[in-house]
Amino acid sequence: MNIEYEVRLLEVDVQDFIKKLEQVGAEFQWDRLQRRYVYDFNPKVEGKWIRLKTNGGGYNAYY
């Protein structure tokens, strides 16, 4: 399985960021709406949850 990195970027020039990614060899993969659902355990366990993600082509669960 490929390694996935997820980040949140605030106040960024998108076109400049894309250019920098391409300069270091990054390749565009796909452009789709991605939905993420987060579920807590019951009873809640601090720092632990289950995340379900979909991009319209299937579902992935993360713990």
Cα–Cα dist 51/55, whole Å: 13
6-52 per-position pLDDT tens digit: 788 889 998 999 999 999 999 998 788 889 899 999 898 888 889 89
DSSP track, 1-34: ----------S--HHHHHHHHHHTT---------
Beta bridge partners of 35: 54
pLDDT of residue 52: 92
Q: Are 35 and 53 in contact (CB under 8 A)?
A: yes
Q: Are 39 and 50 in contact (CB under 8 A)?
A: yes
Q: Is the pLDDT of residue 1 over 70?
A: no
Domain ranges of the chain: 31-63
